[in-house]
Every structure is written in structure tokens, then in C-alpha cells.
Amino acid sequence: MKKIASLVLALLLFAALPGGLAVSAEGSVLDDNTLTVAMECAYAPYNWTQPDSSNGAVPIKDSADYANGYDVMMAKKIAEALGMELEIVRLDWDSLVPAVQSGTVDCVIAGQSITSERLESVDFTAPYFYASIVGLTRVDSPYAQAQGLSELAGATATSQLGTIWYDGCLPQIPDATILTPQESAPAMLMALETGRANLVVTDIPTAKAALNAYSDFVLLDFNDSEDNFVVSSEDVNIGISVQKGNTELKDAINGVLNTMTEDDYNAMMDEAIAIQPLSDGLPEGFFAQIGYLLQNYGTSYLKGAGITVVIAVICTAIGCVIGLGCGIVQTIPVEKRDGMGKKILLGAARAVLRVYVEVFRGTPMILQAVLIFYGAAFLFGWNLDMWTAALVIVSVNTGAYMAESVRGGILSIPVGQTEGAKAIGLTHVQTMTSIILPQALRNIMPQIGNNLIINIKDTSVLFIIGVAELFSIHKGVVGATYAYFPSAVIEMAIYLGMTLVCSAILRWVEKRMDGESSYALVKQTGGLNAPPYVEHGKPRTGNLDL
Amino acid sequence: MNTTETGAIVEVRHLNKSFGPREILRDINFTVRKGDVTTIIGPSGSGKSTLLRCLNLLETPSGGEILFHGQNIGESANIPAYRTKVGMVFQSFNLFSNLTVLENCMLGQRKALKRSKAEAEQKALFYLEKVGMAEYVNAKPSQLSGGQQQRVAIARALAMEPELLLFDEPTSALDPEMVGEVLNVMQKLAAEGMTMIVVTHEMAFARDVSNHVVFMADGVICEEGEPAQLFEQPKSERTAEFLARFRQG
């Protein structure tokens, strides 16, 4: 497979910058005695997520879940042979190359094919699997009995985005209608199941695993025939990638692979397929599948939801503080009598804030996440903790939006409030803290609520750097079970539940801030009871009685 | 002229104010002594409010001097401290809408004068009582009528115990039936000896309550003097013309 995402390209461009060539010089990976291996944990049968340690699954770093599959078995074998501790890191597919390139992980064992494009960014070991190309169709399709490639003529076909299956194999089908590519293997299988396509092309492990989940699928394997897809060996050789120049680790892994044969690989893959979570098949019926997922992955969903809420709440709070700071600086009045120094300082600060707001508001958070997380490791050798990176990215993003909200909130307060405060001798800071900000905060509460709800949903992009939030749980569950629709429905319900609860809490807070709608008179006063003003015994008319 | 000898609190000398090329005030000179109740009258746009706002530096004068007890406040670094001594009542009240009536009257005392909470509360209650608003201490400004809000605003200014109180058209934003309650409070303050400068369109108040009237038009002082003289025998034609409009009603 060769999956070339725009993200990787962006990172490669980044790497091409002069400063980018200074790849962080990590110490020898063999020294620290921990083998850090990255994979998607959502690409059965190579790797998947499961809720328990059954069948020798390995805990995923910074997560309550476990990883298993062909890649995990291979990783365990290698770590054992090298006498190292194994650590599995869950990363999105598009993040795998940058992660190994930047030295964030030691190697990637994730069903990556050894392509010339990838070889420009990373080094590969010898193949650890040979993934021949096959087709899948439904039992009721006209192609169910096909004996060769030519018999697939006229099929409506699709496959996964950025793979040799889509880019290289689909065009070889005569007169095929080629649909747009699907974002993942589970999505591709869903397209076949729902009838949008009547043929998908993939590799043998994926196809075998799919047969477990979908009883009405038929495998079309033409590998013993002349009438087959033509692919180069680089497209089917699956390898392990290490950082460029890390020959020490590469040679060590090759040493382990040399002790195994292709038959060993196939036997191990069959074993992986057999212990895949859905090897006994997904229950029939939509609600039965939802029940199955809740029973097996319920705690995973809840933990993901918890992480999502915690990140969203903390980052909205930090973002509000950042926004308040920016909003205050943006609205400090400059007066004629102010000194030159203050004017220049304020002007510079405002220019910096302007750039900050425009850049973070004007670019997708998913790209910011990739650039901050991998860029920091790549350019400066800073290996940011995943959680730190997540908090920084979402907070800084929220801050950019809140800066404008706060500025608007401050501008919305009538100038009379400021003048009233000045007139009793308050300083600018006292005016802001006692009068303007409390009112501005009340006015922007709806926007703060908006940001919290947006954050609950938008933290889903953090899967790209491996944060085990709610959406990444979905990717993991779907990667292991192919139960695309039921999992999506569960996620929708959880997201909606979280945002509804947040809305309700925020409305309650707003009501509390508004205070009582009535007030109590404290006592009768003996003071002036304001009798009508009388001019010369006559009621006041406003005109002079001259 | 030495201000300490004459008992002047504020002396305005050759004051100018322009907004860009537009001249609002030209060569304004006048003196306010302790106990004076000065009213400033004149047609709309004549610069009355701008003059008042220059006096506590809500507007920065373009030229001239404002002497407070002989000290030029244009050169004073501590403007907030000066403002605690020169209170201001606005046309649109400008009560702090996030605070209760009591808190409105305590904030300046606590923050600017650093009075203790107990003292600030006691003073606030005293002056709220004076304007007849003591029973409303728990109300928010938005829950009060315009006349009530303006009385609270006066109490807020009084609670700072200023030497001079500025009123910027304090009754112009009020319904006619509420004007009386505010003027009544102001009349009482005048009777108690409070030094006040009042920009107003209430000619009867100017004539009956103040002891000094300034008539402004087109950014200059046309005429000033005792109310009886200015209202009965205006020297300037502009003044006579202006006052005539009030006599016809």
C-alpha cells in the first residue's frame, strides 16, 4: 500500500526547509532498552484495539486499551529477541511517517508497504509480510463467480484513499466505474456492504478479516491465474520503518526477520485473523450490533468521552484566560498624553496578537496539531508529551477565537460605564476588573458556551497525534470490528449527550450571573421622599414665568 | 491673583478644546469659589458639556490651564486622585449595571479612597438616605426608574465626599414627572453649601438656585453674572435672544 496524505507532504515540505534538515540526534535506541513501536491500532488484522489483554494483547501507551494483531505479534517477537521492553503507541495512519522521521517513536510496524516515496523519508527493513492483492464482492453480485480480472469488466469499484489498491489496481479493471476513494478500510467495506460499490480491491489480510465480519462477502483471489492485477513487488512488500540512518536498529530487526520464512508469516497472519475480535462474526441486526459494541467496548467509549470532556473543559478555561489577556491588551486606550514608549510597546504587542489570532483562527486545528507535535520534535528535538501537546493546541486555538469574543464583549459595554468609573477616581485596571470585564464576561457567556461545545466536537482531530479521545475510540472499534454504522451512532449519541448537558449547565450559569429578577426593599427611610419640585407654588413647567 | 486668598477651588484660564480642526471651546475663563452654585446655560452644541468634561479630564483640553487650589491639573500625574475630589453626575446616570445600588456607592470609596468596608458602607447608606434611596440598596440599576437612578448616581458622587460636584444635564434624560425629584435633591445640596457646577436647560433652577450663571454660545462665554441680573437685564443680545425662547412657552 502507498498512502500519501497531504499531511505527510506538508511535513516533507517542512523537512525540506534548511533548518528542517537538522534531524534530532536521539541517543541509540538500543541503549534505553525500550522499543517504542507506533501503529494505528485500527487496521485489522495487522493491528487493532481491544478492551482487555486476552490473546496476549499489549497495553497501548497513555490509554486504557490494548493492542493486538499481526503487527503486535511481530513487535513482541522482535522486542523479545532483542531483549527490549515493548511499548505500543497509537497514532493515526497519516502521522506514522512523521513520527518515525522525527524520532518520536523508534519504528513503525503498521502494515506499511515499502514504497519509493516512503523510502525518501524513512528507512525500511526487509519485508515482514507479502500482501497479495485480491477483490471482494457480495455473494449476490454478478461478479461473485468471477475467475479472473477480465470478468470484472463494468464493475462499480472503490478502495482506500492513497493506496496502490485504488491508484494502481482499480484502473486495470476494464470499463470500471471508479468511485471516489474511501478514507479507511472499514469505510471501504461499508461502501460494498451498502451497495454503493459492487467491488472493492484490497490485500489478502484485510479481505480475510472482512469475511469474518461480513458473512455475505465473497473473496476474489486471482493470484494463481495469469488474469490477475499486475503490481510490482514494492507494492505488496510490507515492511518496518525506522528513522533514516538508524542502521543499528534496522540491522537488529532484519536479524530477527531472517530467522523466519514466508510460511511463518502466513501462519502468524492466520493466527491474527483467528483471534481478531470479530473472528466469530458480528451479530446480525443493527441493534444487536450496537448492543455487542456497548458490551465489549462500553468502557472504552466512556473513557474516551471522559478524556474528550476533560480536554474540552480545561482548554476552554485556559483559552478564556488567553482570550481575556489578548482582549484587554487590544482595548487598552492610547491617549495623547501617553509616552512614546507605551505607544510603541502597545503597538508591537497588538501586532503580535493580531498575527496570533489570524494564524490560529485561519488554519485547521488538525494541521496545527501535526505541526506542533511533530514539528517541535523534528525541528528542535522537543519530544512534547502527547497530553501537553493536546492541551496547548486546543487552548491556543480557543484563545484565538476568545480574543475576538472578549474584544467584542469589551467594545459592547457602553462608554458611560468607563466614564462613570473614571469619574469616581478608578484607574484603568480597576475600571476593567471591577466594571468592564464582569459585564463583558456576562455578555460573552454564550460565546464561551459555543466554544466549549465546539471544543467537545473538535478535540476529535486529536486522534491525529494519538490522543485516546472519543473519536479515536470510534476509529479503533471500527478498525477491529468493521461495525461502522453502529459505532458511529453510539458516538453521535455520546457527543450529543455531552453537548446537551454542557448547554444546560451553561444556561444555568448564565441565570446565576443575572441574579434575582426582583429585589427587596430593606427599610423605610426617614430621608427625603422626593416631593414634586415646585416653583413659586406652581408645578414645574420647564418655562420661566417671567 | 492668588487662589488661596480668593478662596477659589477651581480657576479656568484661557481653556481651548478642539476635536481635529473643529474648535469646541475658545478662551474660556472663570472661577469657582467654595460654596458657589454655578449654572452653565446656553443652546445645544455651545460647548457646555465639553467644558464640564474638561474640568475632570474626561476630555483632554487642547490648551489653557485648569487650576485646582492653584495647582495646574494638566501637569498632575495622578488624575484618578484628582477625580476623587471632583465628582461628576452624568446625563445618562452611568451607574454600574453589574453592581447593586449599595455597591455602586461603595466601589469608589473602597478602590480609590481605600476606605474600610464598614466605613464605605456607612457613608454609602448615609448619602443614599440623603437622596431618599436607602431602601433600594439591593436593587440593580436596571430595576430603577430614571429619577431613582439619577438620585443614586448623585449619592455615588457624594459618597466620595468631593470638594466640587459637576452635573452634566442631570435631568435631560428624565421623563418630566421625574425631573422634580432630582432637582429637589440638587436644591437641598445647594442649600447645604455644596460647591456645584451645573450644566442645565432648567432655567428656573438656574435662576432660583444658583448664585452664578454662565451663558455660553459657540464655544465662548457670552455673558456671566448673578442670576437676577442675567435673567432680568441681559447685556448680550445672544443671551436675550436665548432667554426669550423660554419666556414664550
CB B34 within 8 A of CB B211: no
Contact A425 B108 (CB under 8 A): yes
Q: Which residue in A163, A129, A110 sits closest to A270, CA to CA?
A: A129
Longest distance between any two alpha carbons in chain A, whole Å: 119
Residue A510 distance to chain B (closest CA, Å)? 13
Nearest CA of chain B to the CA of A442: how many Å? 9
* In A214-285, alpha helices (H): 233-236, 247-257, 262-275
CB pair distance less than 8 Å for B132 and A519: no
What is the C-alpha to C-alpha distance for residues A153 and A460, in angstroms, rounded to an integer? 40
Asked whether the domain spanning A292-514 has the same topology as the one spanning A133-222, the reply is no
**Cβ of A333 under 8 Å from any chain B Cβ?**
no
Q: How far does the CA of residue A357 sit from the closest CA of chain B (Å)?
A: 29
In B, minimum Cα distance to A434 occurs at B107
pLDDT at A518 over 80: no
A25–chain B Cβ distance below 8 A for any pair: no
Please list, in sequence order, all residues whose beta carbon lies within 8 angstroms of the beta carbon of residue B241, skipping any fewer than 6 positions away.
none
Confidence of residue A27 (pLDDT cuts 50, 70, 90): very low
Residues of A in contact with B190 (CB under 8 A): none
Interchain CB distance below 8 Å, B134 and A527: yes
Q: Is A442 on the interface with B (CB under 8 A)?
A: yes
Res A18 pLDDT > 80: no
In chain B, what residues touch A534 (CB-CB under 8 Å)?
A: 180
- Pick from A520, A526, A544: CB nearest B207: A544
In angstroms, rounded to a whole number, what is the distance separating the alpha carbons of residues B157 and A41? 69
pLDDT at A483: 83
- Chain A residue numbers with beta carbons less than 8 Å from the beta carbon of B209 are none
Q: b or e along B188-206 (b: 16 or more beta carbons within 10 Å of the residue's beta carbon)?
A: ebbeeebbbbbbbbbbbbb
A35, β-bridge pairs: A86
Q: Do A423 and B56 touch (CB under 8 A)?
A: yes
Answer yes or no: is pLDDT of A231 > 80: yes
Test B183 with A540 for CB contact under 8 angstroms: yes
Residue B1's CB is within 10 A of a number of other CB atoms, namely: 7
CB contact under 8 A, A533 and B176: no
Give the number of other Cβ atoms within 10 Å of residue A501's Cβ. Answer: 12
- Write down the pLDDT at residue A487: 92
Please answer yes or no on whether A420 and B94 come within 8 Å at the CB atom.
yes
* Chain B residues touching residue A519 (CB < 8 angstroms): 100, 136, 138-140, 143
Q: Output the pLDDT for position A546.
A: 33
Could you report the per-residue pLDDT of A109-161, keeping only the tens digit for each? 998 888 888 899 999 999 999 988 999 999 999 999 999 999 999 999 999 98
DSSP secondary structure, A373-387, as one string: HHHHHHHH-----HH
Chain A residue whose CA is closest to B129: A527
pLDDT in tens, A72-85: 999 999 999 999 99
Least confident segment among A19-28, A301-310, A385-394, B184-193:
A19-28
Who has greater pLDDT, A513 or A199? A199
What pLDDT score was predicted for residue A42? 86
- C-alpha pair distances (Å), B190 with each of B87, B185, B215: 15, 9, 20
Across the A/B interface, how many CB contacts are shorter than 8 Å? 154
Which residues in chain B come in under a pLDDT of 70?
1-6, 76-77, 248-249
- A449 to chain B nearest CA, in Å? 21
Helices (H), ranges, chain B = 3-6, 48-55, 79-85, 101-111, 117-130, 146-159, 176-191, 203-208, 227-232, 237-248
Domain boundaries, chain A: 3-128+240-281, 133-222, 292-514, 518-546
Is domain A3-128+240-281 given the CATH code 3.40.190.10 in the classification?
yes
The answer, yes or no, to whether residue A26 has pLDDT greater than 70, is no
8 Å CB contact of B80 and A427: yes
Compare CB distances from B98 to A336, A439, A540 and report the shortest one's residue: A439
Best mutation target, A413, A443, A533, to test chain B (most B CBs within 10 A): A533
Identify the sign of the CA torsion A72, A78, A81, A87. negative
Per-residue pLDDT band at A4 (split at 50, 70, 90): very low
- pLDDT, tens digit, 9 for 90 and up, residues B218-242: 999 999 999 999 999 999 999 999 9
Beta strand A237-243 with A129-130 is antiparallel
| Strand pairing category for B37-41 and B212-217 | parallel
B207: chain A residues, CB-CB within 8 Å: 544
The CATH homologous superfamily for domain A133-222 is Periplasmic binding protein-like II (3.40.190.10)
What nine digits make up the cell of A447? 460565546
The per-residue pLDDT for A210 is 87
pLDDT tens profile A334-388: 766 677 888 888 889 999 999 999 999 999 999 998 888 888 877 887 777 888 8
CATH of domain A292-514: 1.10.3720.10
Cα separation, A205 vs A164, in Å, equals 15
CA A358-A362-A363 angle, 5° bins: 130
Q: Give contacts of A422 with chain B, Cβ < 8 Å.
A: 58, 80, 83
Helices A365-380 and A386-411: crossing angle, nearest 10°? 130
pLDDT, residue A281, reads 63
Is the Cβ pair B108, A337 closer than 8 Å? no
pLDDT at A526 over 60: no
pLDDT of residue A279: 58
Determine what percent of chain A is predicted with pLDDT higher than 90: 50
Are A420 and B83 a contacting pair at CB < 8 A?
no
A523 with B156: Cβ contact below 8 A: no
> Taking 90 as the threshold, does the pLDDT of residue A32 lie above it?
no
Which residue is associated with the grid cell 485489522?
A44
Question: For B155, which residue in chain A has the nearest alpha carbon?
Answer: A424
CA B55/CA B12 separation, integer angstroms = 8
Instruction: Spell out which residues of chain A touch residue B187, defining contact as CB-CB under 8 Å.
Output: 533
Instruction: Identify the residue among B94, B126, B201, B213 best suited for mutation to test binding to A, counting A beta carbons within 10 A and taking the highest.
Output: B94
> pLDDT category, A283, cuts 50, 70, 90?
confident
Which of B98, B189, B243 is the best residue to mutate to test the A interface, defined by the most A CB atoms within 10 Å of its own CB? B98
